[in-house]
Amino acid sequence: MKKINLGRHAVILILIVLWGIMFALNESFRTGANLGSILREASSTGIAALGMTFIIIMGDFDLSIGSMLAFAGMIMAGCMENMGIVPALIMGAAAGLVCGLINGIIIAYFRVPAFITTLGTYYSLRALAYIFNDANTIICTDTAFLKIGTGSIAGIPIPFLIFLVLAAVLAVILNRTTYGRHVRAMGNSEKACRISGIDTKKVKCAAFVLMGLCTAVSSVIVTARQACASPDVAANFHFDAITMVVLGGTKMTGGEGSIFNTVIAAVLYASVSNCLNLYHVDAQWQRVCMGLILLAAFSFDFIQKHFAGLRERSQKKTIQSI
């Protein structure tokens, strides 16, 4: 008997249904510009969600990415005025890397739970982002840079291309490299990892560095799309990224998850948000909606288990009655 794994395919089914309905019902949804903006939106958070997939598979969380994004954006935009685009991008990436490294070292080497550590960096980095330019926004004017956020190649938005390429690379790393295997093993059983000779601290630290780098890439796209870096950007970024990952079926308990599903979930999340906008739903209601979606995604395991239990029990009853 083949068991259909509802969890694995639920996201893509929901996405298809949603898009089907919206294509049929709403004219402004199916315009190229709108679809492009959905994909851009999906990419800017989705790229960070890729890194977050690694972190959650490992059984941890990173709350600091929103602040990290703002901080990296400020550094990048600040450098761009004086140094030009390439050094600025390098500085932005370096900022992400260093932030990730700090998180990683505290979490892995001092064995502090990730959520509290990243809560600390969440506030500190946000404060640094404000301090960097006295709470002022930095405007970016370099057209080549802005192109990263707004341009398209063959009709496909550049951010989405970056997203897909990164997703492909990270999927290979997760599934077919020693490092990826170790990340998944960590989410399964840290004890078993230690006995198997896996350097758990290094693996954990590296995942947070990867998270930092993904956030830096997100920061590039967000900054380029808005043509400015502001210290208050991406306030609920960690929330959105975690929702995408969990919506993609990656288990909160760690150990299993799929990059592909995170990509689909990112598009789904951006689409839902887009639909709510199209129907002029109030921003606060949108947040409440997203909260409920996350709660539903979190409870998915429970619901599945509950229904499996019911099914098994009813089967048993029928067997007994026969």
Partner 1 sequence: MGNYIQIRDISKKFYGVYALKNVSFDIARGSVHAVMGENGAGKSTLMKILGGVYQADGGSIIIDGKERNIRSVQDSAGCGISVIYQEFNLVPELTVAENIFISDVPKKTFLGIVEKKKRSDNARKILDMLEIHVDPDEFVKNLSVSEKQMVEIAKALSLNAEIIIMDEPTAALNEEEVRRLEEIVGMLKKEGKTIIYISHRLKEVFDMADTVTVLRNGEYVDTRPAAELTEAEVIRLMVGHDVVQDTDRPVYASEDVLLKVEDLTLKNVFESVSFELHKGEILGMAGLMGCGREEVLSAIYGLFGYDSGKVFLEGKEVRFKNSGEAIEQGICFLTDDRKDAGIFPRMSVEENITIMSIRHMKKKWGFYISPSQEAGQLKKMTEFMNIKYARPEQKISYLSGGNQQKVLLGRDLLLDNKIFIMLEPTRGIDVGAREEIYSLLYQLARDGMGIIAVFSDMNELIRVCDRAVVFCDGRITGSLTKEEFNKEKILTYAAGKGA
Partner 2 sequence: MKQKLSRQSENISLAGVVVVLFIVFTILQPNMMTVFNIKNILVQVSLTAIAAAGMTFAYTAGVFDMSIGSVLALISVVVAKVATTAGVFPAILAAFAIAAAVGILNGLIVTKLGIQAFAATLVSMILIRGIAVLMADGADVPLYSVNAIKFISSGTILGIPFPIILTALVYAVSYFLYYKTEFGMKIRSVGSNADASRISGIRTQRMITAAFILTAVTAVFSSLIKTAQVMFGKATIGEDFALDVMTTVILGGTVITGGKGNLTGTLIASVLIAVIKNGLNINNVNSYYQQLAIGVILIFALIFNGIKTMRNTRQIRREG
Binding site for partner 1 (CB under 8 A): 172, 176-178, 181, 184-185, 187-189, 191-192, 194-199, 251, 255-256, 316
Per partner kind, with CB cut-offs from 5 to 8 A, the member of partner 2, partner 1, none near residue 292 is partner 2
113 is an interface residue for partner 2 by CB under 8 A = yes
Q: Which of 291, 307, 308, 315 binds partner 2 (CB under 8 A)?
A: 291
Q: Which is nearer to partner 2, 116 or 192 (CB)?
A: 116
Q: Which of 28, 177, 236, 315 binds partner 2 (CB under 8 A)?
A: 236
Q: Are 292 and 281 in contact (CB under 8 A)?
A: no
- CA separation for the pair 29, 25 (Å, rounded): 8
- CA separation for the pair 97, 213 (Å, rounded): 5
> Which stretch in 11-19, 87-95, 127-135, 312-320 sits in contact with partner 2 by CB under 8 A?
127-135
Q: Are 235 and 162 in contact (CB under 8 A)?
A: no
Neighbours of 184 (CB within 10 A): 17
> Which stretch in 91-99, 119-127, 141-149, 222-230 sits in contact with partner 2 by CB under 8 A?
119-127
DSSP line for 10-21? HHHHHHHHHHHH
302 is an interface residue for partner 2 by CB under 8 A = yes
Neighbours of 286 (CB within 10 A): 14
Q: Which is nearer to partner 2, 54 or 71 (CB)?
A: 71
> Which stretch in 74-82, 151-159, 208-216, 235-243 sits in contact with partner 2 by CB under 8 A?
235-243
Q: Which of 82, 284, 318, 320 binds partner 2 (CB under 8 A)?
A: 284
Query: How many contiguous H segments (helices) and E segments (strands) does the chain have?
Result: 13, 4
Largest Cα–Cα separation, the chain: 81
Per partner kind, with CB cut-offs from 5 to 8 A, the member of partner 2, partner 1, none near residue 314 is none
Q: Which residues fall within 8 angstroms of residue 247, CB to CB, at 6 or more apart? A: 11, 265, 268, 269, 293, 294, 297
Q: Beta partners for 228? A: 139
Which residues sit at the interface with partner 2, rule CB under 8 A? 61, 106, 110-113, 115-117, 119-128, 130-131, 135, 236, 239, 242, 252, 282, 284-285, 287-288, 290-292, 294-295, 298-299, 301-302
